[in-house]
């Protein structure tokens, strides 16, 4: 089953750290033992973060994010991997 979820995580990169919120597609196995997150997109973070490459950590997982021109861009679609 898939669901869009709001996730709070810790954004790190460019010598900075910030709490952030992301929207992600959570894909849960039918038996409920495993779940994966795909299409993770940063929604909110500290507004003064510089453009560049970042890593978001949440629930023991990591996903990459990029800020460009003051906007958060998702890295290529993929699964959030275990930290």
Q: What is the predicted pLDDT for the residue at 79? A: 57
* Domain definitions of the chain by residue range: 2-82
φ and ψ at 76, to 5 degrees? -45, 145
Q: What is the predicted pLDDT for the residue at 43? A: 95
Burial class (CB in 10 A: 0-12, 13-18, 19+), 23: middle
Least confident among 6-10, 25-29, 62-66? 25-29
Is the separation of the CB atoms in 41 and 68 below 8 Å? Answer: no
**Encoded tokens for 22:** 């992301």
Tell me the pTM: 0.81
Query: What percent of the chain stands above pLDDT 90?
Result: 61
Tell which residue, 63, 56, 61, 59, has the closest CA to residue 78: 63
Is the separation of the CB atoms in 19 and 45 below 8 Å? Answer: yes
pLDDT single digits (tens) 16-45: 999 999 999 988 875 666 788 888 899 999
State mean pLDDT over 49-75.
Answer: 92
């Amino acid at each position: 089953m898939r669901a869009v979820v709001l996730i709070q995580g810790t954004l790190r990169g460019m010598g900075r750290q910030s709490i952030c919120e992301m929207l992600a597609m959570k894909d849960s196995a039918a038996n409920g033992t495993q779940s994966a997150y795909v299409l993770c997109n940063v929604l909110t973070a500290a507004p003064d973060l510089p453009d560049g490459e970042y890593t978001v950590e949440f629930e023991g997982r990591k996903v990459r994010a990029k800020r460009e021109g003051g906007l958060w861009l998702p890295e290529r679609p993929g699964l959030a991997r275990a930290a």
